[in-house]
Structure 1
Amino acid sequence: MASELNINITIDVLESEEELTAQEKEALQVAQEAANDAYAPYSNFLVGASLLLEDGSIFRGSNQENAAYPSGLCAERTALFGMSAQYPNKKIKLLAVTARRLSEEKFLPAMPCGACRQVMSEYEHKQQEAIPVILQGPEGTFYRCHSVSDLLPLQFTKDHL
């Protein structure tokens, strides 16, 4: 007989920037700056990500497109892979993601794709500590996830290999 698995996920919906902590604001600002530096000549969709590290430093990444699809890379993975290559043992305390269209100044909702969610979960599993995620939401709102597992509840990890 079938049984049910109930998964309860709580994501805070923040109505304005004033509800963000100082660290969340700073991480989002760095993510917005990173989005402005994205290389997105094909989609014109600029995405930025930032990682607040345990020492207080912030590492950033932006989406990088390529004419030879799918050779580009999303902002989240650019930030995570670059950070891990340079600081393999530092823990991530917060990840922020934001996006905008090249033709517009306002920032749009920014939700990580499935591949990015999988990579994010790998780093959360690696550090054995939750990584909170701040996402740009619609109409000036923000989403606060307390863990990557809020975005990818049934994770595939090295333990499944």
Structure 2
Amino acid sequence: MKEVKIETTLQLFDDINELPEDIKSLMSIAIDARENAYAPYSNFNVGASLLLDNNEVVIGNNQENASYPSGLCAERTAIYYAGAKYPDAKILKMALTASSKNKVTDKPIPPCGACRQAIAEYELKQDHNIEIYFMGAKGKVAKSSSLSNLLPFIFESSVL
């Protein structure tokens, strides 16, 4: 038997004001998208914004449904729209923010597992890392230089 150690490196910013201007703008767009989320069941609003290599910015927010599995997360809403509207564009950067109507979200909130898998698919498809910035409603912002920092054992098509 051999033990394998996996390490992840993230950058942590004290708040949105410490971000570079282009990322601060991208996060502000995600915050606006978060405010328009449809989350009457969870009361947990999530917003996402993507910067593409054609300089387009695509947004998404979570969309819930009384039949819970039928809803869709903000990240996948944005990614799938980008894939449909700009199929040849690469996703360069992603900003995510989440807030709860039930409690203060002041820690970075990363993408859920299903969204991590969707982001991984696009990173592999485009053969280019996606920088991911994520935060709660306020407070620290985390940056991952690639989805592989958040999902080290990616399930991908070569195993099919």
Structure 1 and Structure 2 fold alike (TM over 0.5): yes
What is the identity, as a one-letter code, of the residue corresponding to 1:21? P
State yes or no: 1:18 paired with 2:22.
Answer: no
Equivalence for 2:55: 56
State yes or no: 1:71 paired with 2:70.
Answer: yes
What is the identity, as a one-letter code, of the residue corresponding to 2:54? D
Where do 1:12-161 residues align within 5 Å? 12-102=11-101, 109-136=108-135, 140-161=139-160
- TM-score, normalization by structure 2: 0.92
What is the identity, as a one-letter code, of the residue corresponding to 2:12? V
Identity of aligned residues (%): 44
Structure 2 unaligned residues grouped into runs of 5+: none
Alpha-carbon spacing, 1:12–1:29, altered in 2? closer, same or farther (3 Å): same
How many residue pairs align between the two structures? 160
What is the identity, as a one-letter code, of the residue corresponding to 1:144? K
Structure 1 unaligned residues grouped into runs of 5+: none
CA deviations 1:91-116 (Å, max 9, x no partner) are: 01101110112478976632211000
Mapped partners of 2:14, 2:24: distance in 1: 14
Mapped partners of 2:34, 2:16: distance in 1: 18
Alpha-carbon spacing, 1:37–1:19, altered in 2? closer, same or farther (3 Å): same
